[in-house]
A and B are shown apart, each in its own frame.
Chain A
Amino acid sequence: MSKKVISRDVAERLSRLNLPFDAYGMDPYGISRAHLGLFFTFLEVFYKHYFRVRCFGIENVPRTGRAMLVSNHSGGIPTDGGMLLASLFFEGEQPRLAHGMVEKFAQTWPFVSHWFSRVGQLPGLPEHAIRLLQDDRILMVFPEGARGTGKLYKDRYQLVRFGSGFMRIALQTKSPIIPTAFIGGEEALPSIYHAKTLAKLVGAPYWPVPPYLVPMPLPLPCEVHYGEPLYFEGTGNEADHVIEGYVEQVKLAISRQIKYGCALHGQRRAGLSYEKLGERP
């Protein structure tokens, strides 16, 4: 059944995905080729038609080998994660699967946790991050965590506090960091309020409430920007102030991407050409 549903583009890219699938179409992390086919066919609809995502700087993502995508996080529900996954799968010459670090509370949800693990989105643990990078995979990190997706509309495109664990892992595994910006998510689902009781009921850290009440993103255009890789030297055992300095550099690089991305996003929403924006950061 699933073969009939999977789009031709997804099937072709899936056949070129560089993962060690066994005879059952499973890789050692429990990723299933069949589930990936359905997942990317589903994401394709949102990526190409619903959010009409445009991707910039995909050449900054290596075709092979390890890398850590570090991005802003926004949009009430983490649509940005799904769109980043789709852009890496659909845009590059070599399709790649990024591994997200999923909030631990989602692991207890039936069906949700099962699907996350079949498509390579593992619980957010340092052990997973280190192992995946050592296996030359791409890791997708949102150092703002739930603080980021929980941002209200009035705080859109402002980065909140970054955790520093990702930087120690990048240093330990000698992984390049690709500063990434996702633009449009905060307008697609503008949270104006958090329903705390509802969040408690489902075990989530917050429940976004937009002006139209149903937390469903609107079909507004979005963009993904991949910046040039940043390389840091170290072992991961450096003092906090050293790590925090590195984290600030990453944060600054993402801020630049966001600034450029917002300008470009405005041009796009206004129906103008992109050309007049000048050099990318």
Chain B
Amino acid sequence: MKVLITGITGAHARMVAERLLGRGYEVIGIDRRTWANPPEGIRVYKADVRKRPAADVFRSERPDVVIHMATITHFSGSREERLRINLQGTRIVFEHCHEHGVKHAIFVGRHTIYGAAPDAPLYRTEDEPPLAVSTFPELADLVAADLHAATALWRWPKLKTAVLRLVYTLGPLRRGTLANFLGGPRVPRILGFDPLFQMMHDEDAADALIACIESRINGVFNVAGPPPVPLSVLCRGTHRKTLELPEAIFPYISGRFGLPHLPPGAVAHIKYPIVVDATAFQAATGFKHRFDGHSVMTAFREA
């Protein structure tokens, strides 16, 4: 079976590609960036998913499965760029999937689209609305991409579509939103708040995508690993120094004194929890995480 991964040079995408290769899949990838020495058996096309060369890859390679991982966050792109890559890119990739006979399309999204709010339920199921569109405007493009990808479910019923909302990934790759947040000299916390954070090991996340391919699931699914832990425990477990600040002065301190720069909307994400219920995904695929919370934090710390 031939699997095409968009954004294949990203750290998590590479891990997925290598694991798929190890399981006997034929793996190809598209990315604007280069992968200097990909493992033998993985072909990487240097192209922008929104441009004609990417369409040629779909046309000539005719993949069976597409994993769309070419999305970026506010840590790595401006608002305009995020909108172009995340929303327009997703739209075009799914149109290619429909036009070029792809059997299974997988959109790899984020659980943060549910947004953090004081009156939101602790466990979010897939039918919860994406509050982030108002609470965290910097995520609006990812919310739009997620919802647009899901329209393939009714627009093209023959194309099996899985929209996955993965919790934060953490581990030896030290990449991703949570790793960036924890990566600086100090981790900011809002005084008097200690929200639950839900994360899964990098390898578990890759295995979850493979489970998704092998189960040929169709629908919107939350994907999670071990139970959530409070931010204080997460910082202790990863040996990070924290700085607790009153919310009123946080905007003036953000980006200084060794703290990461966080947009105003992100404050809610370090005040209130975003935790998802992933039982539907587990039931549909049989996926079980291998790494508990302690192992995830240790892997990140020791990498």
A108 and B118 contacting across the interface, CB-CB below 8 Å? yes
Is A256's beta carbon under 8 Å from chain B? no
**B residues bordering A, Cβ < 8 Å?**
118-119, 121-123, 190-194, 196, 226-230, 233, 237, 247, 272-273, 292-294
Which of chain A's residues has its CB closest to B233's CB? Answer: A24
Q: Which residues of A contact B123 (CB under 8 A)?
A: 127, 131
A131's closest neighbor in chain B, by CB?
Answer: B123
- Contact flags (1/0) for A11-40 with B, using CB distance below 8 Å? 000000000001110111110100000000
Contacting residues, chain B, for A49 (C-beta < 8 A): none
Residues of A within 8 Å of B292, CB to CB, are 22-23
Smallest Cβ-Cβ distance to A127: which chain B residue: B121
Q: Are B294 and A114 in contact (CB-based, < 8 A)?
A: no
Instruction: Determine which of B118, B228, B237, B294 lies in contact with A123 in the assembled complex, contact meaning CB atoms within 8 Å.
Output: B118
Interface string of A105-136 (1 = CB under 8 A from B): 00111111110011000110101100100000
Q: Is A104 an interface residue (CB 8 A)?
A: yes
Residues of A within 8 A of B190 (CB): 110
Contacts of B247 in A (CB 8 A): 110
B residues in contact with A125, CB < 8 Å: 119, 121
A27's closest neighbor in chain B, by CB?
B227
Q: Specify the chain B residue showing the minimal Cβ separation from A26.
A: B229
User: Which residues of B have CB within 8 Å of A22?
Assistant: 226-227, 292-293
Show the binding face of A for B, using Cβ within 8 Å.
22-24, 26-30, 32, 104, 107-114, 117-118, 122-123, 125, 127-128, 131
Give the residues in chain B near A112, CB-CB below 8 Å.
Answer: 192
How far in angstroms is the closest Cβ of chain A from B170? 15
Q: Are the C-beta atoms of A104 and B192 separated by less than 8 Å? A: no
Contacts beyond the supplied A22-B226, A24-B229, A131-B123: 19 A-B pairs with Cβ under 8 Å = A22-B227, A23-B293, A24-B233, A26-B227, A26-B233, A30-B196, A104-B118, A104-B119, A107-B118, A107-B119, A110-B191, A110-B192, A111-B192, A112-B192, A113-B118, A113-B193, A125-B121, A127-B121, A127-B122
Instruction: Give Cα distance in the complex from A122 to B233, angstroms.
Output: 20
> Hey, which chain B residues are within 8 Å of A29, CB to CB?
122
Q: Which residues of B contact A123 (CB under 8 A)?
A: 118-119, 121
Taking a contact as CB atoms under 8 Å apart, the answer to whether B193 and A26 are in contact is no
**What are 6 A-B contacts defined by CB distance under 8 Å?**
A28-B228, A107-B272, A109-B192, A112-B192, A125-B121, A128-B121
CA distance A239 to B294 in the complex (A): 49
- Residue of B192, B237, B292 with most chain A CB atoms under a 10 A cut-off: B192
Q: Is the CB of A28 within 8 A of B227?
A: yes
A122 surroundings in chain B (CB, below 8 A): 122
Enumerate chain A residues within 8 angstroms of B196, measured Cβ to Cβ.
30, 117
Q: Which residues of B contact A108 (CB under 8 A)?
A: 118
Going nearest first, the 5 A-B pairs with the smallest beta carbon separation are: A110-B192, A107-B118, A127-B121, A28-B227, A111-B192
Question: Bound complex: CA of A131 vs CA of B121, how far in Å?
Answer: 10
The reply to whether A30 and B122 form a contact with Cβ atoms under 8 Å apart is yes
Beta-carbon contact of A24 and B294 below 8 Å: yes
Report the separation of the CA atoms of residues A129 and B49 in the bound assembly, to the nearest whole angstrom.
Answer: 45
Smallest Cβ-Cβ distance to B246: which chain A residue? A110
Query: CA A247 – CA B237 in complex, angstroms?
Result: 47
Nearest chain A CB to B196's CB is how many angstroms away?
5
**In the assembled complex, which residues on chain A have CB atoms less than 8 Å from the CB atom of B118?**
104, 107-108, 113, 123
Asked if A114 contacts B194 (CB within 8 A), the reply is yes
Q: Residues of B contacting A131 with CB < 8 Å?
A: 121-123
A109 to B190, CA, bound (A): 12
Given the known interface contacts A22-B293, A23-B292, A107-B118, the answer about A32 and B193 at a Cβ–Cβ threshold of 8 Å is: no
When C-beta atoms are compared, the residue in chain B nearest to A25 turns out to be: B233
Contact among B121, B273, B293 with A30 in the assembled complex (CB-CB below 8 Å):
B273
* Alpha-carbon separation in the docked complex, A122 to B123 (Å): 11
B122 partner residues in chain A, CB cutoff 8 A: 29-30, 122, 127-128, 131
Tell me which residues across on chain B come within 8 A of A127, comparing CB atoms. 121-123
**Is the Cβ of A26 less than 8 Å from the Cβ of B192?**
no
**Complex: chain B residue closest to A105, CB-CB:** B118
